[in-house]
Every structure is written in structure tokens, then in C-alpha cells.
């Protein structure tokens, strides 16, 4: 299979960028992930840290990763249905184990479940334009469902948005103590996440994957357009995303993250802006790839992208050890947590450089491929076939 070095680089950026937000999910209570007012009025520097990350990073790198996941599904179609089903089924099991045994913020299970549906649509829709338009429509349906939820929800915040002291104490207890209590709580989170996936987020995730597949199919994500095209696209897409999101960020701050408006209605502009900004980031990489490709750092980030699954799980192992085993949970504010991120990035980069010096794939990627090949071979030898 052809290796697209630009895609490796962008995938590496996405994996590293995801940690900018995930570090809050590791180091602070769950409610703090999108609500800086989870524990009363936040400090000025906490508010500014939230605002800048919400503007530049929140959902953008996850969306970018989902676009590339859809592009990967398009590339994998030639391997056949047995290969794809086995590959996604094993990813589902990895995600389930990750979400139950390690951390509540797993995305692998969601990607696998949606991927098991979406790859068939990608296969059966012949036109790139039709696939792109369908993906956009599904994404907008997800945003619409979010607004419907806002209109029917109770106006009083629940503990997932504004936890009390007892809730925070209990969350701290089970995260730091581990054991079966932690497994039970992670299972509860997994159940809630699956309900959200089925009712709202799954529409957006499926739409994003289809958009990524369509852009891979028409050559946009293969870098087949001119440098000038990508630079113009980066300018217009990023500017459009900022124009949509910045007023919502300012309004959330002005309303002091009041639940009625912030939890649903003012999340919608971010959801609308994120695909534009994510594609803008990708276009920026393609537009300046002749320069970027000569940087040693870009080659290192590309290796992180080649080992995306291993590095994603490595981030979990590092962060759960730091915050839950070494007792650093709730010891830092948002800006202080950000200071930890470059250290973990450096570990990701050094691990990738060292590993790929001796092996062709990351350790989890190798295991994933071996299990996929074994399952696909058994499927081919099955009497039903």
C-alpha cells in the first residue's frame, strides 16, 4: 500500500494535538473538560487557557483524526470486506479494554462502531461528490440533534456539568484507588458514551469519516491539488471557522458558562466550526509541505503518526500513572497541566523514533495487523464462504 507521508505527519499532529484537551480530562474531574466553571468562578488565567484551547484545539484535532480515519477506510477498501470487518472488530475490542480497564475518555470504541457501518456506505456510494454531500448532511443532523437536546433538557445543571463536593470526592476516590470500583464507574461512563454516540455524536462522527473518505477519493487528502489551492483553502477554511466560533467562545465567557446556554446551544458553533478549522489545518500542512518536509521535526511527527494507536495508548498509560498512581489528580490548573504536555509529546516522539528504527510498525499496530490477518484468513476458510 502506498505510504502518504503528508498523512502520517497530519495524523501525528492530530494525536499530539488531542492531548492538549485530554490532559484536562486526566488531571481534572470529568465536568472540567468543557466547563471551566465546574468548581465556581474560574481564575482569569484558567478562563484564558480554556478560551484559547476551545478556539484553536477543542474538537479540532479529534475531527482531524476522524477525517483521516475515514480516509484510511477508503484506502483499506481494496483489501476486501473480511479484512475491514476483522480490523474494525479488533479495534472495537481494543477500545472496550481501554475504556474499561484504563480510562473513561476512550475514542477507539466509538470509531470502530461507527466505522463498521460507514465503510459499507463508502464502498457503495460511487460518486465522491455524493459521498461528500452525504457526510456533510449527516454531520449537520448531529448538530441539529444537539440543538434539539438543548430545547428539551432541564435548565438546571446535573452533576456531570456542575458536580458538588461529594461528587468530586467520590470521583477522586475511585480514580485514585482503582480496582473494581474504578471498573464499575468506567463501565457507567462507557454506557453513557454509547448512548450519546447512538443519539447524537455518532451522526457527526459518521459524517466526518465520510467527508474524509470523499476527500481521499478525489485526491484532496492525497496532496494532488496545487500548493496555491491548499494555501487559499487554509486561509478561507480557518477564517470561516474562527468567524463562527469566536463569538460563541466570548458569549460562553460572558454568561459564565451558564448551563442552559453553554451546555448545548453554544456548543453548536464549535461543532460547526471544527470541520472547517480541521480541514484548514490539513490544508496548511499541504500548502507548505515543500518547506515542512525538510524539517527534522516533521519527520519525527510523521513517525508518531505511523504509530498513532500505540502513541494514543501510551499517552493514556503515562497520564493515568501520573495523575492516578502518583496522586497528581486535581493538583494543577489548566495552564499548569499544559506545561506537562510537551514532556509527553517528547516521549511520544522519542518512542516512535527509536521503535521505528528497528521495526516497521508500532507494537500495537503490529498486534492489530496480526490479529486482523488471522481473523480474515479464518473468515476466508469458513465453510460459509
Predicted confidence band of residue 376 (pLDDT cuts 50, 70, 90): confident
Distance set, CA 21 to CA 124, 207, 226, 318 (Å): 35, 22, 33, 15
Instruction: Give the confidence band of 64 by pLDDT, cuts at 50, 70, 90.
Output: very high
Average pLDDT of span 196-216: 97
Q: How many Cβ atoms from other residues are within 10 Å of residue 247's Cβ? A: 12
Contact 199, 53 (CB under 8 A): no
- Are the C-beta atoms of 286 and 230 separated by less than 8 Å? yes
Of the pLDDT bands very low, low, confident and very high (cuts 50, 70, 90), residue 156 is: confident
Separation of first and last alpha carbons in the chain: 26
Report pLDDT for 198: 94
Report the pLDDT value the prediction gives residue 67, as an integer from 0 to 100. Answer: 97
Q: What is the DSSP string of 129-152?
A: HHHHHHHHHHHHHHHHHHHHHHHH
Chain centroid to Cα 208, Å, comes to 11
**Amino acid 1: pLDDT:** 55
Cell of 224: 494532488
pTM of the model: 0.95
**36 vs 42: CA distance, rounded Å:** 6
Amino acid at each position: 500500500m502506498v505510504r502518504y507521508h503528508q498523512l502520517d505527519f497530519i495524523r501525528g499532529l492530530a494525536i499530539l494535538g488531542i492531548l492538549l484537551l485530554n490532559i484536562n480530562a486526566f488531571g481534572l474531574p470529568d465536568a472540567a473538560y468543557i466547563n471551566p466553571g465546574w468548581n465556581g468562578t474560574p481564575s482569569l488565567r484558567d478562563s484564558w487557557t480554556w478560551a484559547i484551547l476551545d478556539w484553536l484545539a477543542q474538537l479540532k484535532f479529534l475531527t482531524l483524526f476522524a477525517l483521516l480515519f475515514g480516509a484510511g477506510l477508503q484506502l483499506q477498501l481494496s483489501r476486501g470486506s473480511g479484512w475491514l470487518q476483522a480490523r474494525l472488530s479488533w479495534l472495537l475490542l481494543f477500545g472496550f479494554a481501554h475504556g474499561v480497564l484504563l480510562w473513561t475518555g476512550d475514542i477507539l470504541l466509538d470509531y470502530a462502531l461507527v466505522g463498521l457501518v460507514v465503510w459499507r456506505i463508502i464502498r457503495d456510494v460511487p460518486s465522491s461528490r455524493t459521498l461528500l454531500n452525504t457526510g456533510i448532511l449527516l454531520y449537520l443532523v448531529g448538530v441539529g440533534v444537539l440543538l434539539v437536546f438543548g430545547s428539551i433538557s432541564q435548565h438546571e445543571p446535573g452533576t456531570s456539568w456542575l458536580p458538588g463536593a461529594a461528587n468530586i470526592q467520590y470521583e477522586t476516590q475511585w480514580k485514585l484507588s482503582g480496582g473494581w470500583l474504578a471498573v464499575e464507574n468506567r463501565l457507567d461512563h462507557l454506557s453513557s458514551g454509547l448512548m450519546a454516540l447512538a443519539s447524537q455524536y455518532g451522526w457527526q462522527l459518521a459524517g466526518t469519516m465520510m467527508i474524509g473518505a470523499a476527500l481521499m477519493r478525489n485526491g484532496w487528502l492525497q496532496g494532488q491539488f496545487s500548493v496555491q489551492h491548499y494555501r487559499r483553502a487554509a486561509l478561507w477554511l480557518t477564517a470561516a471557522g474562527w468567524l463562527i466560533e469566536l463569538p460563541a467562545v466570548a458569549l460562553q465567557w460572558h454568561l459564565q458558562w451558564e448551563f442552559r446556554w453553554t451546555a448545548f446551544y453554544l456548543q453548536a458553533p464549535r461543532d460547526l466550526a471544527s470541520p472547517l478549522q480541521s480541514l484548514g489545518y490539513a490544508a496548511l500542512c499541504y500548502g507548505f509541505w515543500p518547506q515542512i518536509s525538510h524539517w527534522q521535526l516533521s519527520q519525527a511527527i510523521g513517525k508518531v503518526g505511523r504509530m498513532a494507536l500505540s502513541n494514543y495508548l501510551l499517552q493514556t498509560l503515562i497520564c493515568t500513572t501520573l495523575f492516578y498512581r502518583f496522586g497528581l489528580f486535581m493538583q494543577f490548573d489548566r495552564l499548569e497541566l499544559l506545561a506537562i504536555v510537551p514532556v509527553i509529546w517528547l516521549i511520544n516522539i522519542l518512542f516512535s523514533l527509536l521503535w521505528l528504527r528497528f521495526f516497521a510498525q508500532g507494537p500495537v499496530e503490529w498486534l492489530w495487523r496480526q490479529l486482523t490477518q488471522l481473523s480474515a484468513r479464518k473468515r476466508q476458510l469458513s465453510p460459509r464462504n
